[in-house]
Chains A and B, each alone.
Chain A
Amino acid sequence: MAILSSSIARKVAMALSGLFLVFFLAQHFTINITSVIDPETFNSWSHFMGHNILVQFILQPVLIFGVVFHFIMGIVLEIRNNNARQISYKSFKGNRNSTWASRNMIISGAVILAFLGLHFYDFWFPEIVHKYIESNPLDATRYYPELLHKFESPVRTGLYCLAFVLLALHLWHGFSSSFQSMGWNNKYSKGLRAFTQFYAIFIPLGFIFIALYLHFNQIH
């Protein structure tokens, strides 16, 4: 961890892990959206992801490491940053000079973290138990029904939607911020910023759409 002893190194590490998660989000979304378009495709892609050795034993641990690293680092930085101003202002008008999203990454991050807990509880643990503990026989058609089943509850669907709103805020600042952290600020930055903001709205909105779609299509 000596390499992370400087403030800039920690920032860059935060940016890199964040960008990795942004990339993962796009991939996750691509698979999930097929559940709306064509459940068959969803089943087959899910099955591939669930049983490919490369995905399961290399990418999955890397992803878990990425997530854990990103949030531990986030908390470490938050503690350090709070420590840098021990007596706080009686009057502080952050909204005059910065966005809510940029100032409250720890809040949006914490909500996303809580959501991840729910998400793991909903999908990942049952999946691991199903595959590796109970050693059930392969079934390439179980994914879509399982997914549909999860979105029966309006409470859960609501929580999912709320989490994605916070994810949008987190991405709104975090995605473009990661480029600044890595020293990328030039004439293309304006265009890049537009793209990251589009992404920050589009992907979470897409996930919300999927959640609501599945919720309201339970009748079938």
Chain B
Amino acid sequence: MDRRQFLKSSTALAAVAGAAAMPWRRVRAQTGPIKIGLLTPLTGVVASGGKEMVEGVQFYLESVNYQIAGRKVELVIEDDASNPDTALQKARRLVEQGNCQMLIGDLLANTGLAVANYVKGTGTPYFIPIIAADDLTQRHRIRNVIRVAGYSASAFTHPFGDWCLKQGYKKIATISQDYTFGHEQCGGLAQVFTEGGGQIVQQFWHPLNTADFSPYLGQLADLKVDAIFAMETGADATRFIQQYASFGLKGKTPLLGSMNATDQSVIRTLGEECDGIVSAAHFAEGSDNPVTRKFVKEYEAKYGKIPSLYGFSMYSGIMWVAQALEKIGGKVEDRDAFIDAVLKTELVGSPLGKTVKLDAYGNPIYDVQIRKTVKRADGKYWNVPVTSYPGVSQFWKYDPETYMKQPPYSRTFQGIKKA
């Protein structure tokens, strides 16, 4: 018996044993709480985002009094320390010792991939409202890893490329952090933009945590392009936006950002230097949709800040899971039914103010907002929608099968059409 055969048969055996044990578990479970394991970086480089992820989840659970489908909800929070090894170890602890029926969270792609790989073996439902790696809902889909209220990295930059063409931009340069998330977002824009006749003049890839952007800004200023697309997260985004302004590029060349570059987590500490940056996203905190308005107002009242992508996504993600659980009467123990229910659930009443459903690959279909950062009456900056692309698929207008035959976006493959 080789290893693969052994794995197969032992999985089958475990499944049979599990099914046999089911009646007993079901009886017990109906009385016990629903246990949700939340993995989030509370320490490490992205700790502030991690803290907001917790806030988002708690904000929702408090609004339903920690009750879903008549059952009590127990939230177990673990720190993944922005580190894949720790994330894996904590995921194991939550599932194997903490008896959590599902996992949700993680922020950095490498932590999410580590956990996704783990739950591939255990079958534990794992929800990823933040992890954006394209292939988790494309080429390497795992059924029990579902992107509730999340997005795949290139999903918003496809329509953004189209929007750039409509602005009459002919030449664009991109600058991005040198890792998968950046490659995928830039690739989405580059492919649609060049296929529509635009030209990507140059692409800069810099290491994460680049303290000084001046060398790049000097080169960007010399390029004579119609717009610059910046794919930056966290402190890199803060610095890039600020240095872009101090080197006098702001006002000369329009700055376009990935959604995370102008997220609240970045712009809440910035001033006029972030004014007027355009980005594409599913969520715009400055939308005048009444549901969005209400969410932002309540969140701000409670936590003293405008919700970021992290707070919003986790809030909506856990809401999605809760709505699915309501439909199956809270029977979280019946994994297959639970996963099916989540996949079929259409999210209503989320801060997006629109019903959202998943595509056949477990990725949500959104109305993509083209947003602009503007000053609010009280002097704070936020993202306000300018226009929107309804019902955007992660495959844009391509046929999913054909699209997935092309390689995933990387530094070497950006989908750029040769002129």
Partners in one complex: no
List A residues at the B interface (Cβ < 8 Å).
none
List B residues at the A interface (Cβ < 8 Å).
none
